[in-house]
């Protein structure tokens, strides 16, 4: 593996509070302070002038659909989409076919990752057997098999007692519990946010309270048990307030926001475009602004994409029958930069922190830093380059994106994983 010398980039590393133009060196797959003269002569030089060099992005919430749903995405295609988006580590959800509720399925996923992935792909395990919400999965054996968290993402555990037992066991094994916060009794047949737009469009509404109730439940259980519960893809302003007050009391609650929930509202559904249909649904402008304020004051800890691929023929249906979910990996950085940096006046290092160090620390992952000796996971991007995103020409196997055909600002140029260039100037660099 050749040494790398990134010249004249703006280096932003929130973990070490570094922010300035300089050079970055990589040797034997790790960040080093400098290269010996002989190594410099042999090093691959990357001109970083005008670019930002930051730790590789970390996403703790993606769906790669393998095993069993490879018509939508595979670990190989999903990891390539991640690399194109500047992500070097992603955490995949267990709602595959079969679901990842046992050590054998986890080992299968790890074997495919070792064979096909171009970035670091880490598995989660189910909270309950079959993701049916009736009996606990073998959390200890899942931990030994290598999961980094447990979750029934996509199918929230409805029994409060069962969830209590799950978080108690998870605490014993030092595993975070990720929860998709949805009260199913309030969302039967619902397809979009409950409000003026759902009434106007004649679509069944999905109330904020369906999320708020489960978020409150999780706060209570976290304080009761001392377990770490992570609330996924928060969308409701009331949920933000519940989490904020819980954190002030010291609860071990964390939460994420997605690029689409901070960028879009239910007004986007006016044309019945199913590429705007997701779970939880796009909400109102007031909710969107509350999410941004939650990110600003630390109530919401991180940005995560909830990358959820579906085929064209699945999405090309009446709105009621199309599946929820959109692509997120290739557009996350430009969309987040637009919403938070350009429109909401966040500092760029703070936004990078939301997508690197914080998610890595949240579930105790290595990475998220450019410190001396750290694995050389690096994202190089041009914050000002404009480009037209074509989802069909992207690296995912699916193309269900609300940003397809739009001009975005901010583009990943090079992604480096463990010192190896895996994406460069629009191309995946195969092993």
As a whole-number percent, the residues of the chain with pLDDT over 70 amount to 100
Would you state the pLDDT for residue 286? Answer: 98
Task: Quickly state the pLDDT bin for 366 (edges 50, 70, 90).
Answer: confident
Give a yes or no: residue 212 inside a domain. yes
Domain with residue 205: its CATH number is 3.20.20.140
Q: Do residue 205 and residue 247 come from a single domain? A: yes
In this predicted structure, the answer to whether residue 145 has a pLDDT above a threshold of 90 is yes
Residue 423: closest CA among 397, 394, 385: 394
Task: Based on the fold, state whether residues 138 and 61 are members of the same structural domain.
Answer: yes
Is 141 a domain residue? Answer: yes
Quote the pLDDT of residue 307. Answer: 98
CATH number of the structural domain spanning residue 11: 2.30.40.10
User: Is 402 contained in some domain?
Assistant: no
| Res 134: pLDDT | 97
Residue 48 shares a structural domain with residue 60: no
Q: Is the pTM of this model over 0.95?
A: yes
**Within a domain: residue 310?**
yes
Residue 48, phi then psi, degrees to nearest 5: -100, 10
Same structural domain for residues 269 and 285? yes
Per the domain annotation, does 401 fall within a domain? no
Question: Which is it for strands 420-424 and 407-417: parallel, antiparallel or unpaired?
Answer: antiparallel
Instruction: Please give the pLDDT value at position 430.
Output: 87
Peptide bond connecting 152 to the previous residue in cis, omega within 30 degrees of 0: no
The verdict on 15 and 88 lying in the same domain is no
Is 367's pLDDT higher than 90?
no
Mean pLDDT across 336-357: 98
Could you tell me the CA-to-CA distances from 106 to 5, 72, 225 in Å, in that order? 37, 20, 27
Total domains in the chain come to 2
Q: CB-based contacts of 172: which residues, under 8 Å, 6+ apart?
A: none
pLDDT reported for residue 114: 98
Do 148 and 165 share a domain, yes or no?
yes
Give residue 363's pLDDT: 86
Say if residue 193 is in the same domain as residue 342.
yes
The pLDDT, as a whole number, for residue 170 is 96
Q: Quick one: CA torsion of 353, 354, 355, 361, rounded to 10 degrees?
A: 80
Quick: pLDDT tens for 107-138: 999 999 999 999 999 999 999 999 999 999 99
Q: Which among 153, 301, 306, 375 is annotated as catalytic?
A: 306
Q: Both 106 and 194 in a single domain?
A: yes
pLDDT over 90 at 431, yes or no: no
Over 90: is that where the pLDDT of 180 sits?
yes
Type and span of the H or E element at 18: strand 18-27
Are both 197 and 235 inside the same structural domain? yes
- Are 63 and 140 in a shared domain? yes
229-250 CB burial, b ≥16 within 10 A, e <16: bbbbbbbbbbbbebbbebbeee
Q: Are residues 146 and 83 part of one domain?
A: yes
Average pLDDT, the chain: 97
- How open is the CA angle 27-329-326, to the nearest 5 degrees? 165
Range of the domain at 415: 4-52+374-387+407-428
Both 133 and 228 in a single domain?
yes
pLDDT at residue 12, as a whole number: 98
28 is catalytic: no
Instruction: Count each helix (H run) and each strand (E run) in the chain, helices first.
Output: 14, 19
The backbone region for 418, taken as left when phi is positive above 0, alpha when psi lies in -120 to 50, beta otherwise, is: left
């Amino acid at each position: 593996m050749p040494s790398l010398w990134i010249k004249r980039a703006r280096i932003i590393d929130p973990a070490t509070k570094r922010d300035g133009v300089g050079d970055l060196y990589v040797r034997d797959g790790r960040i080093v302070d400098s290269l010996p003269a002989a190594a410099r002569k042999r090093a691959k030089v990357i001109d970083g002038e005008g670019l930002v060099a930051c730790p590789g992005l970390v996403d703790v919430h993606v769906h790669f659909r393998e095993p069993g749903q490879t018509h939508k995405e595979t670990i190989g295609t999903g990891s390539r989409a991640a690399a194109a988006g500047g992500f070097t580590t992603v955490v995949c959800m267990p709602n595959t076919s079969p679901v990842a509720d046992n050590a054998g399925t986890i080992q299968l996923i790890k074997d495919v990752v070792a064979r096909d992935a171009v970035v670091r792909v880490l598995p989660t395990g189910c909270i309950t057997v079959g993701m049916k919400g009736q009996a606990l999965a073998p959390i200890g054996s899942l931990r030994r098999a290598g999961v980094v968290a447990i979750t029934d993402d996509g199918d929230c555990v409805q029994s409060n007692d069962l969830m209590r037992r799950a978080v108690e066991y998870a605490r014993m094994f030092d595993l975070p519990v990720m929860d998709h916060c949805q009260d199913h009794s309030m969302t039967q047949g619902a397809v979009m946010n409950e409000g003026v737009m759902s009434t106007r469009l004649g679509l069944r509404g999905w109330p904020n309270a369906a999320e708020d109730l489960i978020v409150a439940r999780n706060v209570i259980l976290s304080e009761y048990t001392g377990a770490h519960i992570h609330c996924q893809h928060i969308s409701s302003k009331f949920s933000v307030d519940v989490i904020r007050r819980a954190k002030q009391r010291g609860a071990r609650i964390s939460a994420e926001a997605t690029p689409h929930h901070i960028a879009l509202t239910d007004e986007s559904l006016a044309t019945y475009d199913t590429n705007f249909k997701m779970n939880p649904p796009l909400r109102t402008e007031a909710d969107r602004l509350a999410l941004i304020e939650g990110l600003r004051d630390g109530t919401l800890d991180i940005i995560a994409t909830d990358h959820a691929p579906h085929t064209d023929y699945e999405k090309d249906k009446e709105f009621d029958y199309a599946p929820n979910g959109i692509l997120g990996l290739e557009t996350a950085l430009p969309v987040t930069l637009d919403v938070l940096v350009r429109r909401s006046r966040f500092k760029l290092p703070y936004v990078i922190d939301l997508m690197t160090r914080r998610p890595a620390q949240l579930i105790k992952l290595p990475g998220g830093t450019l410190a001396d000796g750290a694995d050389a996971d690096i994202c190089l991007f041009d914050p000002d380059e404009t480009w037209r995103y074509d989802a069909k020409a992207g690296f995912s196997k699916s193309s269900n994106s609300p940003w397809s055909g739009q001009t975005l600002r901010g583009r990943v140029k090079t992604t480096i994983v463990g010192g190896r260039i895996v994406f460069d100037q629009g191309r995946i660099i195969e092993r």
